Amino acid sequence: MQLVAEDLVVERGGRRVIDGLSFAVAAGEALVLAGANGSGKTTLLRALAGFIRPVRGAVRLEGGDEELTLAEQAHVVGHANAVKSSLTVVENTAFWGNYLGSGPPGSSAATGERLDAALRHFGLDDLADFPAAYLSAGQKRRLGLARLLIADRPLWLLDEPTVSLDTASSERLVAAVNAHTKSGGIAVIATHLPLALESARTLQLAHQRIAA
């Protein structure tokens, strides 16, 4: 399996942000998008997810499920945590499990174990019954990231995932990404901070034009 982008041209607000970009990311690999603010990291991730239609070019997941869109095979985590404040930590996680297709908690032992493992990995197990409205910014970010471990998706598209995370929490995220790529998954991550990722390479983005 590999994620392939061919001759991508993407415009935002009448400005050409990405101009003729081609690259491929193989199974078991992470691609880190680096560059200054405004260089196109978020725009590229949104184009890969199918949220922005390119002016020219194509994006495809070779070896993926042909009956599903690329977005349906991807975890897309943006700047927002997508946390429902009225729900508890475990209810938020269960919602994502349901929405992403892993089934409601308790529907099977495997599903319940996966939910527990996700909360435990991101250090939220002791807060399972805590209302999300009272979480700190870092805790809400970890709760938003927990959905990565709730359902299997071969492609992870992460936009500044370490926002609001301390060093220990960032290490939890890195461990999750490394486990994902070790199992044959693909990750594309926009970040301004160095991450200790295994099997990773960097794509440096520049203003106006992106050169692979």
Q: Report the share of the chain in percent with pLDDT over 90.
A: 74
Confidence category of residue 211, pLDDT binned at 50, 70, 90: very low
Q: What CATH number is attached to the domain comprising 144? A: 3.40.50.300
Exposure letters 147-167 (e unless 16+ CB within 10 A, then b): bbbbbebbbbbbbbbbebbee
Residue 107 inside a domain? The answer is yes
Q: How much is the average pLDDT of 46-58?
A: 94
One-letter identity of residue 191: T
Residue 101 inside a domain? The answer is yes
Q: How far apart are CA 145 and CA 134, in angstroms?
A: 17
- Determine the pLDDT at residue 103: 41
Residue 210 inside a domain? The answer is no
Q: How far apart are CA 165 and CA 172, in angstroms?
A: 10
* Per-residue DSSP letter, 71: G
Q: How far apart are CA 160 and CA 78, in angstroms?
A: 7
- Determine the pLDDT at residue 111: 67
Q: How many domains does the chain have?
A: 1
Dihedral sign from CA coordinates of 127, 128, 129, 132: positive
Residue 198 inside a domain? The answer is yes
Asked whether residue 110 carries a pLDDT value surpassing 80, the answer given is: no
Q: How much is the average pLDDT of 2-8?
A: 96
pLDDT digits 0-9 by tens, 184-193: 999 999 998 8
DSSP β-bridge partners for residue 5: 23, 59
Confidence category of residue 100, pLDDT binned at 50, 70, 90: confident
> 165 or 210: which carries more pLDDT confidence?
165
Residue 212 inside a domain? The answer is no
- Determine the pLDDT at residue 29: 97
Residue 195 inside a domain? The answer is yes
Q: Which domain holds residue 92?
A: 2-204
Match 């042909």 to its residue by tokens. Answer: 66
